[in-house]
Amino acid sequence: MLTTPDPETHVYAKPPAHANADWTIDQDWRSYSDEEHDTWDMLFARQSKMLPGRASEAFLKGLDILQLSKPGIPDFDELNQILMDATGWQVVAVPGLVPDDVFFDHLANRRFVSGNFIRKMSQLDYLQEPDIFHDVFGHVPMLADPRFADYMAAYGRGGLRALKFGTLKQLARLYWYTVEFGLIQEPEGLRIYGAGIVSSYGESKFALDDESPNRIQFDLERVLRTEYRIDDYQQNYFVIPSLDELLRVTVETDFKPVYDKIVNMPDIAIAEIVESDLVLTKGTQKYAMSKSGAATVI
Ligand code: HBI
Ligand code: FE
């Protein structure tokens, strides 16, 4: 029996002893220390200060509806009362990363899994596993939007299908380039909505303002073929024109024919631009090149 997570995937082989069969655990809100609540407050203050004018309207509205500006780590029981009323979603605590099928099953049933731990003050900017700040501050505000709420549930159903088709690698890229690192074109300008961006101090500036990354119009086939990096700021961001359009090209689309079409097409490298791209900003890739020194496609 595995008692430590898989070193590659960080996932346990089966639910830890204190977890339920569906991998959920009690949030145990009362056990957070003052220092842990302070860490949340510090991160919350730092992010919420810079988000007006940067984060999408849906995200800012979600923060407000869910009353996330109340001090301290949110209590899921309270949060869920509001979230349930808004979109039928709830947040459930898990000990860390859960297996793909478990993750998708929760999403398909409108349960968003969140780590119940918070990062240490000494690691405010980088951590390998999603903590409660990333999961709740980053992801949950968008789940208060009815359109995004439908998108995420559909993603869960799509994930279960992708496991059967053997196309998880392709589908995971959709999650990456929308739910985690998506940009949206709003009437007032480009905005961030991806949880990986809105919960990151550095990337919430970089994704909108830096000259390095490419910003490319979202296209489903293109995104499903595009590799991504998990270790640093993205070199590409994909821009959706609206949440309605995201629903139209995903929830209302059968992915099977798309998978069949792209299965024999090559993957697209991280910073590569392809012929069919509608490029909104051609990036310099200066940031990525300064870090690696290696040849990078520009
Ligand atoms: N588990 N807790 C948690 N959070 C995730 O975001 C997550 C996961 N398990 C699997 C998983 N994500 C992947 O399947 C998707 O990103 C594709
Ligand atoms: Fe995430």
Give the CATH number for residue 286.
1.10.800.10
Q: Which atom of ligand 1 is nearest to the CA of 114?
A: 2
Instruction: Provide the CA 229 distance to its chain's centre, in angstroms.
Output: 13
Residue 297 has pLDDT above 70, yes or no: no
Domain that includes residue 279, residue range: 29-290
Residue 250 has pLDDT above 60, yes or no: yes
Tally Cβ neighbours within 10 Å of residue 295.
7
- State the closest ligand 1 atom to the C-alpha of 11, by its place in the atom list counted from 1: 9
The reply to whether 170 falls in a domain is: yes
Residue 167 is encoded by which pair of tokens?
A: 């196309």
Which ligand is closest to the CA of 169, given by its number?
Answer: 1
pLDDT in the model for residue 240: 98
Distance 175 CA to ligand 2 centre (A): 9
Strand residue runs (E) in 167-277: 183-186, 189-192, 214-217, 236-240
Element (H, E) at 205: helix 201-209
Mean pLDDT of 178-193: 98
Higher pLDDT, 1 or 205: 205
pLDDT at 1: 37
Is 291 or 61 the better-scoring residue by pLDDT?
61
Q: To 10 degrees, the CA torsion angle through 38, 43, 47, 49? A: 30
Q: What is the mean pLDDT of residues 210-227?
A: 98
Count of domains forming the chain? 1
pLDDT of residue 123: 85
For residue 182, what are its two tokens?
A: 């998506």
Q: Residues 131-175: pLDDT tens digits?
A: 999 999 999 999 999 999 999 999 999 999 999 999 999 999 999
- Cα–Cα distance, 157 to 179 (Å, whole number): 15
| Closest atom of ligand 1 to CA, residue 115 | 2
Residue 110: inside a domain, yes or no?
Answer: yes
Is residue 199 in a domain? yes
pLDDT of res. 181: 98
Look over the chain and give the mean of its residue pLDDT values, rounded to a whole number.
94
CA distances, 103 to each of 96, 197, 235 (Å): 11, 21, 27
Judged by its nearest atom, the ligand closest to the C-alpha of residue 181 is 2
- Identify whether 174 is part of a domain: yes
Ligand 1 atom 15: residue of nearest CA: 172
Q: Whose CA is nearest to atom 17 of ligand 1?
A: 172
Tell me the CA–centroid distance for residue 13 and ligand 1, in Å. Answer: 14
CA pair distance 64, 58, nearest whole angstrom: 10
Put simply, whether the predicted model's pTM sits higher than 0.75 gets the answer: yes
The residue whose CA is least distant from atom 3 of ligand 1 is: 97
Give 196 Cα–ligand 2 centroid separation in angstroms: 6
Q: What is the mean pLDDT of residues 53-82?
A: 98
Output the pLDDT for position 3: 54
In a domain, 6, yes or no: no
Q: What are the contacts of 244-249 at 24+ separation with CB within 8 A?
A: 244/147, 246/147, 246/151, 246/178, 246/218, 247/147, 247/150, 247/151, 249/218, 249/220
* In the predicted structure, residue 51 carries a pLDDT above the cut 80: yes
Q: Residue 36 above 60 pLDDT?
A: yes
pLDDT band, very low/low/confident/very high, at 4 (cuts 50, 70, 90): low
- Within-domain flag for 237: yes
> Per-residue pLDDT averaged across 232-240, rounded?
97
Best probe residue, ligand 1, of 98, 140, 177 (max atoms within 8 Å of C-beta) = 98
Tell me what pLDDT residue 298 has.
41
User: Identity (one letter) of the amino acid at 222?
Assistant: R
For residue range 82-137, list pLDDT tens digits in order: 999 999 999 999 998 999 999 999 999 999 999 999 999 888 887 778 999 999 99
Mutate to test the pocket of ligand 1, among 27, 100, 129 (most ligand atoms within 8 A of CB): 100
Q: Which atom in ligand 1 lies closest to the alpha carbon of residue 172?
A: 17
- The answer to whether residue 297 is domain-embedded is no
CA of 197 to the centre of ligand 2 (A): 10
Which tens digits make up the pLDDT trace of 265-279? 999 999 999 999 999
Ligand 1 closest atom vs CA 168? 17
Please count the residues of the chain: 298
pLDDT at 39 over 90: yes
Q: What share of the chain has pLDDT > 70, as a percent?
A: 95
Let me know the angle formed at the C-alpha of 15 by 13 and 20, rounded to the nearest 5 degrees.
160
In a domain, 11, yes or no: no
Name the closest ligand to CA 115: 1
Residue 204 Cα to ligand 2 middle (Å) = 14
209 — phi, psi (to 5°)?
A: -105, -25
Taking CA atoms only, the protein residue closest to ligand 1 atom 9 is: 98
pLDDT given for residue 124 in this prediction: 85
Q: Please give all residues whose beta carbon lies within 6 A of any atom in ligand 1, as ranges.
A: 94, 97-98, 100, 103, 113, 130, 172, 175
Give the ligand 1 atom nearest the CA of 171: 17
Rounded to an integer, the average pLDDT of 5-25 is 83
